[in-house]
Structure 1
Amino acid sequence: MAHQVIDVVTPYISTPGAVNPALLAAATANAAALVDNTVAALALPAQVHQEVVEQVTSSPTVIDAATAAVAAAFTAAAPADVLAAVSGAAFYRGQLSAGSSADVLRLRADVGVWSVYDTATAETITGLPVAAPGTLTVAWVRGSGATSSVAMQEYRTVSGAAYTREASSSGWTPWERTSWTRGQLSAGSSVDVLRLAEDVGVWSVYDAATAAAITGLPRPWSGALTVWWVRGGSLSTSVAMQEYRTTDGEVYTRQTSGAGWTPWAAPGSASITRVDIFLAAGQSNMSGRGTPYGADLDPPHPRIWEVGAHAPTLRVASVPLDMRGDNPNAALSIATTFAREWVARTGETTVALLVPAAQGGTGFDSGTWNWRDPDGPWSLTAAMLTQTATAIAAAQAKWPGATVTVRGMLWHQGENSSGLDQPGYTAAIDDLFARVRAGLGAPDLPIILGELSPDRREGAPERVSDLTIADTPARVARTAVAHSRAGLSRDGDLSHYGREGVTLLGQRMADAYTAAVANAAGVLAMPPGFVQAWRDGTSVRVEWSAPLCRATGYQVATYDGTNWTTAGDDLTVIGRRATITGARATTTTHVRIATLTPSGTSRPTPQIPVGAHSA
């Protein structure tokens, strides 16, 4: 492309020291046409300047005049293209998963900040300087062409160590123990002056009052200003770019233009096509007790939002979430880890909007989750529905072109069963779910229940809430249970999940969403999914995953070499678990499971052999 421009310009340069104005005007028009017809328009000024200097061996006057003419043509032809590119340049925020590679993040589309949440994941990621959790910032410095453009990376660990490198023709330069500028913008300062290569970095604005006193910000709101530098063939053809990301999730970008800046463009809201609302209800584990947590482990996600209980306004979700009650122990919530999984699965144009309505210590006594006292001072259900209505209206105003839908309800409660027996607790929870669906006008709303911490019930009889939760999908259509596993509670606190448990349960709630949707009449009967059976002393224990159909119960059958048996005092089935005792458990036996549905019994699973008990 540059050679074409030179071919156009060179014939119209007369003698050294002089330029024919008419011919130069024609050169300008031809250059403008070339600019309009190339997809590389943004890189053209650097190519023109660099190659004119290298190939036209005339006087500086001629070189400067020719270059200025073509640069003027470019400026006239391409401002819309430049602005369009800037408007689409919002930073991506994402998560690096196990087995991925940091080495491939070297394109303009990769510019942004990528999180690594734990050491185990970091150890499996190729290209990091150290196996430690942290954030990888990718910047892109454009040269005169694709081959002279440079990707740059900084990796900052949660302990504060920082490493930088840049792409080279052979891959990447070695990581160096240095960091980009990190600073704080103070009241009275100006972001307009941050336009040089040495200004590249992230600059923080901590509160709205300070932001109001800073010149050049797109709006007076706290946030982070990221500066990067797009290098051309000379200082005059290089471009500084800025992104301002506010703490409430707005994203603005701009670039230098001559001695000033282009207008701030706000692409952050334009690309969202779908807003999925989830109610997060229950008591303390849903409210959030997952530790450790913090800004480095839990950076804000631009596609996870909340309308809080105390501050019912639309904003990017915080950790801890704005749940009901003021608990100093609040930490990472199951709802947050669910939302992370949800947006990762649904794509970059989807927002997960949480309605955090849980409160620690609550149950079904008067005035909490009990609909029978709707006007009480602690009527959590009524307050949650009001909060949801606010979220719907706010989302529709924020993303007017998006589809806004209440997708489901996340429920984790039962440590406090309010002294109810199992029939009483079952009636209370079923009534709650029915009334929430009615209040939202969503009779088929999927509801995902989380299993209580297995550590608390270890060695103790099943609580009434455990039994009711396990049996809920059989009683209530469009519900499912997300199971956890033992060993994930916090040290010295068997009731509450730590960070690992909260993460696992959030992921399994996302998995269970499909099972809840399929738990409906008319879906073809299917046998259970994954089945496992093992001997536990003189007992045999069996567990299985939910089938993708309406399951009102399960038929557990055992085979002793002669007969298949499906009933007996030695067989106990609770939810998706069974225990076999007595004679059947002391001999080699085979187990298979079938699903009971409103339309009949499914085919059984393949049989699983379990060896005899050895005394």
Structure 2
Amino acid sequence: MTGHVPQDVLDGWSARMGTGVGGLPIDVLIVAGQSNATKRSSLPVIVSDVDQRVLQWNAAAASIGVVPATDVQWIGNEFAREYVKNVSGRRLLIVPCAMGSTGFTTTSINPPPPGYTYTGNAAQGTWDRTLTSDPTNHYANMIAWTKVALAAAGSGARLIGALWSQGESDRGPMSQTQYAAKLDDLIGQARIDLGVADLPFIIGSMVPETIANNSVSTTAINLALLDTPRRVTRTSYVWGPAGMPEYGNGLIHWSPQGQAVRAREMARDGLYRARLNVAAANPVPPQALTISRSGSAVHISWAAPPCRVTAYNIELSTDSGATWTAVALADGPIATYCDTTVSATLPVWVRGSTTNPVGTSDKTLPEKA
């Protein structure tokens, strides 16, 4: 027999054989956390075609299916659609493990143990892997579902990363240090339990408006999330877009459009930076360093470089670079912004470098404002 077999015929054969499109091997992605990691809402119209390379695990049915067009707008599916554009010859299977209103301090146990909060829903449970008495332990489910999904994905399947979007439920009950310890433990133990010692974890921010408009406890959790790449190798932090909260819902959730934007950033930039966050990486200077000012107020920002960073070193000059003064980073050593003040009558120059276990990078060229 000669000639070309139509793609829809190939797809039908593949589906009946249980191997998906053309028998392409499958990459697997974990999506974990609370409501900003779930399918909260979708646009009222279909905005994207179905992509036969984007699959989703159904834990209840223990099955793999192609994601329908109506389910596109959330971080798992948008990440997957971006990922398969850039990885030839692979499909991506999403393993959804998130549950709204959950965290390290929530529980389905009623009355709750000391230090935990009963959510009012016996199905919600906890992300604290050490609370094994909770019948809905999301960490345990994540490990079990991922293992089964990997087996169902067949030969050639590989686990390529995990998205973590959580923190809102632990504001107040946990300090920055406490939350960081629990998150680091979850990442480390998941790598052990899943047998992937360098599994990338991409940490998503809370909605910027939530961070800006809420309490000190919100800031504490955000700083713990932001600082994860310094504490743990093979992780990255991705700021979500400002100005895209869910309509009429108190600025706590992203809109479908916001989910799409942050997911693409996680796929394009977050996964890349997580993979390059290794101890042996030569340091690279801060990227896109910029300075702006309003009178005496000076704002400096930059982008994370593709390497491990344990500290940013930002310096300021008011005498054309003859002398330089270190600028304090109030939000932690790997915050990608800082604010300071200088006399409104003086010009300002700024430069930066990074530090990691290998050493300190070259400095950026000075920027002036």
How high is the TM-score relative to the length of structure 1?
Answer: 0.52
Give the aligned partner of residue 52 of structure 2: 302
SS of corresponding position for 2:210 = helix
| Aligned twin of 2:120 | none
Pick one of 477, 480, 493 that aligns with 2:233.
477
Q: Does residue 446 of the first structure (1) align with residue 200 of the second (2)? A: yes
**For 2:178 and 2:345, how far apart are their aligned partners in 1?**
37
Residue-by-residue CA offset, 1:398-421 (whole Å, 9 max, x unaligned)? xx4xx2110000111111115101
For residues 266-313 of structure 1, the C-alpha deviation after alignment (integer angstroms, 9 at most, x for no partner) is: 79747344311110000111112354155x324432111111243331
Deviation of residue 576 (structure 1)? 3.2
Q: Residue 438 of structure 1 aligns to which amino acid in structure 2?
A: I
Asked if 1:566 is matched to 2:326, the reply is: yes
Alpha-carbon deviations, 1:541-592, whole Å to 9, x = none? 2222221211112111111114211145xx5244333323233677321111
Distance 1:559 1:290, change over 3 A: farther
Of the three residues 294, 297, 305, the one matched with 1:547 is 305
Q: 1:90 aligns with which of 7, 10, 23?
A: 7
> Does residue 499 in structure 1 map to residue 256 in structure 2?
yes
For the structure 1 residues 538 and 293, does the alpha-carbon distance in structure 2 shift closer, same or farther, using more than 3 Å as the test? farther
Higher relative contact order (CA 8 A, sep 6+): 2
Answer yes or no: is 1:81 the counterpart of 2:2: yes
Report the number of matched residues.
343
Partner residue, 2:114:
none
Q: Which amino acid aligns with 1:455?
A: E
The 1:584–1:599 alpha-carbon spacing in structure 2 relative to 1, beyond 3 Å, is: farther
User: How far apart are the structure 2 equivalents of 1:313 and 1:435?
Assistant: 26
2:34 aligned residue = 283
- Give the aligned partner of residue 62 of structure 2: 312
Say if 1:585 and 1:543 are closer, same or farther in 2 by CA, change over 3 A. Answer: farther
Q: Which amino acid in structure 2 is aligned with residue 576 of structure 1?
A: A
3-state SS, counterpart of residue 463 of structure 1? helix
User: Which residue of 187, 191, 194 corresponds with 1:433?
Assistant: 187
Whole-angstrom CA distance in 2 between matches of 1:563 and 1:441: 51
Secondary structure of the corresponding residue to residue 501 of structure 1: helix
Q: Are the aligned partners of 1:409 and 1:446 in contact in 2 as well (CA < 8 Å)? A: yes
Q: Is 1:589 aligned to residue 348 of structure 2?
A: yes
CA RMSD of aligned residues (A): 2.6
User: Contact 2:281–2:358 (CA<8 Å) still a contact in 1?
Assistant: no
The aligned counterpart of 1:139 is none
Contact 1:544–1:576 (CA under 8 A) maintained in structure 2: no
Identity of aligned residues (%): 30
Following superposition, the deviation at residue 358 of structure 1 comes to 0.4
Gaps (5+ residues) in structure 1?
Answer: 1-79, 92-242, 254-263, 322-330, 611-615
The answer on whether the counterparts of 1:90 and 1:252 sit within 8 Å (CA) in structure 2 is no
Structure 2 CA distance, aligned partners of 1:601 and 1:282?
34
Query: Which residue identity is paired with 2:29?
Result: F
SS at match of 1:381: helix
Alignment of 1:512-527 (within 5 A): 512-527=270-285
| SS at structure 1 position matched to 2:127 | coil
Residue 509 (structure 1) aligned with residue 249 (structure 2): no
CA contact (8 A) 1:305 1:353 kept: yes
Q: Alpha carbons of 1:602 and 1:378: their partners in 2 closer, same or farther (altered >3 Å)?
A: same
- Give the deviation of 1:428 after TM superposition: 0.9
User: 2:5 matched to 1:251?
Assistant: no
Native 8 Å contact 1:528 1:546 kept in 2: yes
- Kindly provide the amino acid, as one letter, of the partner of residue 336 in structure 1: N
Give me the whole-angstrom Cα distance separating, in 2, the residues matched to 1:605 and 1:445: 31
Offset of residue 535 of structure 1: 2.2
Q: Distance in 2 between matches of 1:536 and 1:492?
A: 33
In 2: Cα distance, 1:586 partner to 1:437 partner: 54
